[in-house]
Amino acid sequence: MAAEVKEPEKITIDVERKVISGIVHLIRRKQFYGHILQQLDKVYVSPGHKMSTMAVGRRTDEMLIKLYINRGFVDSIFKKYPSDSKGGATSAWEKMVGVLEHEVLHLVLSHLTLKFSDKLRGNVAVDLAVNSLIERDRLPDCGVFPEDYGFPKDKSSFWYYQELRDNEKFQQ
């Protein structure tokens, strides 16, 4: 008698096609950002991977920066947000393009070269700096934004890093 094998959660969309379409959409709106993303190797990881959303980076043994994409995260965007034909700010497409823009801004702002002694605070600080440049409704609900911590927009990651040290919300 054969043992019953449980099938993994199925991804309901063609993630690679959605990501590439999102990059093409970004090229039409912000050519420089789209061009940078187009050049990166894309690495797709499965749901449940420790990298749960998207990220840009490289492993220590590699020279090239890559775009890492969690298939489950992309799938969740298209399940959670309605995809209207107008591509409004709440549509899945707009959220996808917002996340791609978020990732390329980490490169443009040289965040991969920064070394913070408190890695968690540093990660939140660079996300606050990036997300202050993107309209909130163009990103999924999982992002962090300066106003969530009582901070102004358009500050540097170093500024946010210093201010987070004594921030009550961050301490929680």
Look-up of token digits 């449940």: 48
Q: What is the pLDDT of residues 62-75, one digit of tens each?
A: 999 999 999 999 99
If asked whether residues 65 and 135 sit together in one domain, one would say: no
Give the residue from 7, 4, 23 showing the smallest Cα distance to 15: 23
pLDDT at 144: 96
Interaxial angle between packed helices 157-164 and 119-131, expressed in degrees from 0 to 180 and rounded to the nearest 10? 130
Report the chain (172 residues): mean pLDDT per 10 consecutive residues. 51 82 93 95 94 93 95 93 64 92 97 96 98 95 94 97 96 90
Query: What's the whole-number average pLDDT of the chain?
Result: 90
* Through-space distance between the first and last CA atoms of the chain, rounded to whole angstroms: 52
Using alpha carbons only, how large is the chain's radius of gyration in Å?
A: 17
- Residue 73 domain-assigned (yes or no): yes
Q: What is the number of domains present in the chain? A: 2
Residue 30 lies in a domain: yes
- Under 8 Å CB-to-CB from 76, ≥6 apart: which residues? none
Q: Is residue 2 part of a domain?
A: no
Task: Give the domain-ending residue among 108, 135, 152.
Answer: 108
pLDDT at 38: 94
Q: What is the pLDDT of residue 59?
A: 87
Q: pLDDT value at position 84?
A: 59
Same domain, yes or no: 143 and 160: yes
If asked whether residues 133 and 171 sit together in one domain, one would say yes
